[in-house]
Structure 1
């Protein structure tokens, strides 16, 4: 291991520690980190830190360094922070709407009510654990089929934009050429791996677990999963050849 690896591990631990369930952090987490009234800032912060960390790890895997000229650390944090806000919105919308859809279109009673329990354990104690798991699966599946591809594609478009502008903050705030950047995406990788493999075999199962836990922890879990997403999206070739 290099010296930079030890430094990164130290930084990683410092960033991740506030999100872990340590008793001495309970008040901070309750009052701020998991505070639903502060959801915009906390969602931005969680993804800006954790998902960007995933991209940094991806760069280390791909290029052997944690930072390099043109990487654009701050622009990437801004993008992930914005995506974190949209992810929180998606969680609320799909968690509210999908159970109603299941009851109305699949005639399964009690699915919507199962989401009123704090988590799957509380639902299971009341005899609705199966319905909570079914609801969590459908929420995850529908969200990942409809929202995730749009989010991942938007990330790739901004990724190309950041690279084109040399990773500078000034360049980042210049106009994004969505049409050209969309054409430059490596669709063989984006469709063949990111969409076809990671969504059904990783994201849907993992976010089924996410929607089985208490709502205040969902974005935090998603942010930790964002580390994985950051690695996947950064290791995958950005442009088509």
Structure 2
């Protein structure tokens, strides 16, 4: 194991540690990290650190390095932080809206009530465990077929913008030429792998599980899933 690998493992441990269910962290997690009153800040921070870790791991797998010229670590953290906020908003909107939709128009009785319980276990104790599972699946499906492709495409656009600006933080804040970047996107990868494979095979099942747990943990779970996605994308991309 190389020195850089040991250093990364240390950094990884430091970043992940605050999210672990450890007794001495309970007060911090309850008062801030998982406190819905601070959702704006915590959503940004969770994705800025955890999802960016996924990209760093992906870079390591592809190139053998944890950083390279033009990678733009800080700009990537800013993008992921912003996306983390939109993901939190999407979670709230879809978790509230889809149960109402499917209960009123698709005959899924008890969908709203099942999502009102803290998690699938509490719903099961009240006879709505199966409905909670179905509701979670439908929420995940609707969200991943509508919001997710837009979010993923926006992320790819910013990714290309960061690379084109040489990873510079200052240049990152220049206007993004979306019209020029759009044709540059590798649509074969975007459509055939990211959309057609990761959404039905990875994201819909994983987010179904996510919507079965308590709402305060959903964003951090999604951020951890971002680490996994970074690895998946690196495997699908040609190594340098």
Structure 1 length-normalised TM: 0.96
Q: How much does 1:231 deviate?
A: 3.4
In structure 2, the residue matched to 1:201 is 201
In structure 1, the residue matched to 2:109 is 109
In structure 2, the residue matched to 1:16 is 16
CA contact (8 A) 1:94 1:139 kept: yes
For residues 24-103 of structure 1, what are the structure 2 equivalents within 5 Å? 24-103=24-103
Whole-angstrom CA distance in 2 between matches of 1:120 and 1:204: 17
Whole-angstrom CA distance in 2 between matches of 1:236 and 1:80: 21
Whole-angstrom CA distance in 2 between matches of 1:103 and 1:12: 42
Q: How much does 1:228 deviate?
A: 1.8
Whole-angstrom CA distance in 2 between matches of 1:132 and 1:99: 10
Q: How much does 1:229 deviate?
A: 2.6
Q: Is the counterpart of residue 148 in structure 1 residue 148 in structure 2?
A: yes
Which SS does the other structure have where 1:115 is aligned? helix
Whole-angstrom CA distance in 2 between matches of 1:233 and 1:143: 21
Whole-angstrom CA distance in 2 between matches of 1:46 and 1:232: 20
Which SS does the other structure have where 2:116 is aligned? coil
In structure 2, the residue matched to 1:122 is 122
Kindly tell me the number of residue pairs found equivalent between the two proteins. Answer: 238
In structure 1, the residue matched to 2:5 is 5
Unaligned segments of structure 1, at least 5 residues: none
Instruction: Give CA-to-partner distance per residue, 1:205-229, whole Å, 9 cap, x none.
Output: 0000000000011111111111123
Q: How much does 1:232 deviate?
A: 3.8
Whole-angstrom CA distance in 1 between matches of 2:134 and 2:159: 35
Q: How much does 1:236 deviate?
A: 5.2
Whole-angstrom CA distance in 1 between matches of 2:61 and 2:231: 9
Whole-angstrom CA distance in 2 between matches of 1:84 and 1:217: 13
Q: How much does 1:233 deviate?
A: 4.5
Q: How much does 1:104 deviate?
A: 1.3
CA contact (8 A) 2:61 2:234 kept: no
CA contact (8 A) 1:75 1:172 kept: yes
Which SS does the other structure have where 1:147 is aligned? helix
Aligned-residue RMSD, C-alpha? 1.2
Query: Deviation above 4 Å: which 4+ runs of structure 1?
Result: 233-238
For residues 122-201 of structure 1, what are the structure 2 equivalents within 5 Å? 122-201=122-201
Unaligned segments of structure 2, at least 5 residues: none
Q: How much does 1:237 deviate?
A: 5.1
Whole-angstrom CA distance in 1 between matches of 2:108 and 2:185: 41
More displaced 10-residue stretch of structure 1: 225-234 or 104-113: 225-234
In structure 1, the residue matched to 2:224 is 224
Instruction: Give CA-to-partner distance per residue, 1:169-194, whole Å, 9 cap, x none.
Output: 01100110001111110000110001
